[in-house]
Structure 1
Amino acid sequence: MDNTIIVRTIIGGVLQTNCYILGDPQSGDAVVIDPGAEGEKIKTAVKKENLKINAVLLTHGHFDHIGALSAFSSLPVFMHKNDEMMVRNDKECLSFAGADKKNVMLCLQFLADSDLISVGELKLKAIHTPGHTPGGMCFLVRDILFSGDTLFNCGVGRTDLPGGSLAQLMGSIRDKLMCLPDDTVVFPGHGQPTTIGEEKEGTAFV
């Protein structure tokens, strides 16, 4: 994995969701990916690394990945439009971390497949991977992939929730993720990191 990129993991919430801090050490700029819970804990981790958060990225709109959005309400939130209503309408989403949803104003910015997001000198590529949700996104920077609930260590995301599609998910993984280099490090929404090469060998669904 590229050691010139800062990646820190904060695990939080009842579903033990992985929130990631991605930082560019040269500029000190950073983004938070999937702030699921414990916003103050995330902010403390950011300060420890002497980073400045410029934006929030969402891999999808499920409550366990957005529960701490209220802690970052002044920042732009990048996501796919197909999951917008999950974020705006789900009563659990922003109240999950003790916030009053009615008092939280979010600056949502919508991404399309292959859009680029700048983090200092780093460029993240947005990859639309529907299946777990209609607006599922992965984010690729150099040899690092943040896969949300699309791809796990030895598994894939569930598709039995509203908007889920097993056929779409398998297509997303096959066509957009399995074509990445085998040494691409995968940071999933839950559980331990893996690599594309390991998942090619070990994931029965692929």
Structure 2
Amino acid sequence: MTENNNAPLKGLVLCGGQSTRMQENKSRINYHGMPQWQYLANLLTSCGMETYLSCRTDQQPDFNGYPRLIPDSVPYGGPSAGLLSAHLLQPDAAWLVLACDLPLIGPKSLEILLQERDAQQSATAFISPVNDLPEPLIAIWEPAGLRALHQNVEAGKNCPRKTLLNTNIRLLHNPYAAEQYNANTPEEKAAAIQQVTDQSLRR
């Protein structure tokens, strides 16, 4: 399938981080009655996507036989390893990527990404409410964007956001920007749990 048409879209949950600041595995934190990786995988699957988990090779036993694992297969670290391992596995696919540090992400944000996807660009991404930069890990990466990331990483530029800043992308303001909240420390985890609890009480 060429990029003049929509590349087939898959879901990808990035679970391979070291979680150093959190002091526990972020993919296994329970915000919604289940491990975070499972919540995100269910969210992507509910949008009609075949969904994969990206993980380090040593993490594979942690995911209870989940049928679509992509262990890191490239000699790079960070989220680029997960993105590029997925790209190498299915180079003609586009990937809707979610990181495990997104405890508040929900279907409203994903619906906007899907509705506003521009497959002629390298990616479709939200603007961060924190710094007004592209959010590389709540985004749809097209094959062209992943090829650009691969070239940058091989040149020593291992930063997905910088790739987005230097390629043609569809950049979106999210009316549900609170869903883009990142939890990377125990304090941020506690705040997220409180927000999830408050939301449940209001329903």
> After TM superposition, is the score higher than 0.5?
no
Q: Determine which structure has the larger helix proportion and give its number.
A: 2
Q: TM-score, normalised by structure 1?
A: 0.30
- What TM-score results when the alignment is normalised by the length of structure 2? 0.31
* Richer in strand (by share): 1
Q: Relative contact order, CA 8 A, sep 6+: which one is greater?
A: 2
